[in-house]
């Protein structure tokens, strides 16, 4: 399902953005290299989610036939290391992405901290920003105030925030039954997109009162995109406003990367 933001930007319910005039497909947080590492863990990821990711990637490539694919965020958690089959898996992925002469760009928050063995043999050099026509692609977390965009008829496209909204629906007894749903968020200054993989959802529900008056939101539920009326959205219950972020072994959460 697609929603046309304007003549130059299409939102796709497969968690993608299509820029038709520039034949560019934008995806965020694919974590392609996760599969090989997960298969060696005692709690491996079921095959179905990994296959579903590939199905969406290939269907997007078939439907839009992009000349350029822009990947926002790391290719895998900790791009600086690869384990076993990961290197071969990543090279295979990029051969497929580059099929037909497509250009592949990776945009990360800190290019100097994102290079490493995961990129060996892919031909990818991470950049901090990438201009596509009047738009600038970026991947930064927890950014709600954006620098002035030049040109003024364009805006930022950010993959690092992972918008999450709490939306009520009628429960069995008529009481509100709340769902936390990923979404596309357009603020007038930036278009913030959801992560491509569902397990990379945000950990903080965005509060409508914090958004500018012109903000627009489209929630994602299964393969459907639908607009959210922010003016009619009731306040999020306090216990639903945040999710507990799992502690990363050996990592100081205060030093988390953008």
Closest listed residue to residue 30, CA positions, set 49, 5, 3, 11: 49
What is the tens place of the pLDDT at every residue in 210-233?
888 888 989 988 888 988 888 888
Q: Does residue 135 carry a pLDDT above 80?
A: yes
d(CA 197, CA 45): 13
Give me the pLDDT at residue 65, please: 94
For residues 111 and 126, the answer to whether their CB atoms sit within 8 Å is yes
| Residue 254's pLDDT band (cuts 50, 70, 90) | very low
Q: The domain spanning residue 112 has which CATH number?
A: 3.60.21
d(CA 93, CA 32): 8
Q: Which domain holds residue 243?
A: 2-255
* Least confident window among 45-59, 102-116, 208-222: 45-59
Question: Which residue bears the tokens 């278009």?
Answer: 191
d(CA 256, CA 142): 12
| Residue 256's pLDDT band (cuts 50, 70, 90) | very low
d(CA 78, CA 231): 40
Task: State the chain's maximal CA–CA distance in angstroms.
Answer: 57
Please say whether the dihedral angle defined by the alpha carbons of residues 36, 40, 45 and 47, taken in this order, is positive or negative: positive
Residue that wins the pLDDT comparison between 20 and 118? 20
Give me the pLDDT at residue 50, please: 57
DSSP string, 34-62: HHHHHHTSSSPPPHHHHHHHHHHHHHHHH
Judged by DSSP in three states, 157 sits in strand
* Least confident window among 104-108, 154-158, 192-196, 212-216: 212-216
| Long-range Cβ contacts of 4-8 (<8 Å, 24+ apart) | 5/186, 5/191, 8/133, 8/134, 8/135
If one counts the domains in the chain, the total is 1
């Amino acid at each position: 399902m697609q929603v046309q933001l304007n003549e130059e930007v299409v939102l796709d319910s497969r968690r993608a953005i299509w820029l038709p005039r520039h034949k560019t497909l934008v995806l965020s947080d694919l974590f392609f290299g996760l599969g090989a590492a997960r298969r060696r863990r005692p709690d491996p990821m079921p095959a179905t989610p990994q296959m579903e990711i590939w199905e969406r990637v290939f269907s997007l490539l078939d439907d839009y036939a992009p000349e350029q694919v822009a990947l926002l965020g790391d290719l895998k958690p900790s791009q600086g290391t690869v384990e076993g089959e990961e290197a071969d898996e990543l090279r295979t992925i990029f051969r497929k992405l580059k099929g037909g002469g497509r250009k592949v760009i990776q945009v990360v928050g800190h290019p100097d901290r994102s290079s490493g063995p995961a990129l060996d043999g892919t031909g990818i050099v991470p950049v901090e920003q990438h201009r596509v026509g009047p738009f600038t692609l970026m991947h930064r977390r927890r950014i709600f105030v954006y620098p002035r965009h030049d040109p003024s008829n364009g805006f930022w496209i950010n993959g690092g925030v992972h918008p999450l909204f709490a939306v009520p629906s009628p429960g069995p007894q008529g009481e509100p039954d709340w769902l936390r749903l990923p979404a596309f968020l357009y603020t007038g200054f930036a278009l913030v997109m959801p992560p491509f993989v569902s397990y990379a959802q945000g950990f903080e529900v965005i509060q409508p009162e914090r958004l500018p008056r012109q903000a627009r939101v489209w929630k994602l539920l299964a393969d459907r995109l639908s607009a959210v009326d922010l003016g009619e959205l009731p306040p999020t219950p306090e216990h639903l406003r945040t999710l507990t972020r799992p502690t990363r072994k050996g990592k100081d959460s205060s030093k988390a990367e953008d």
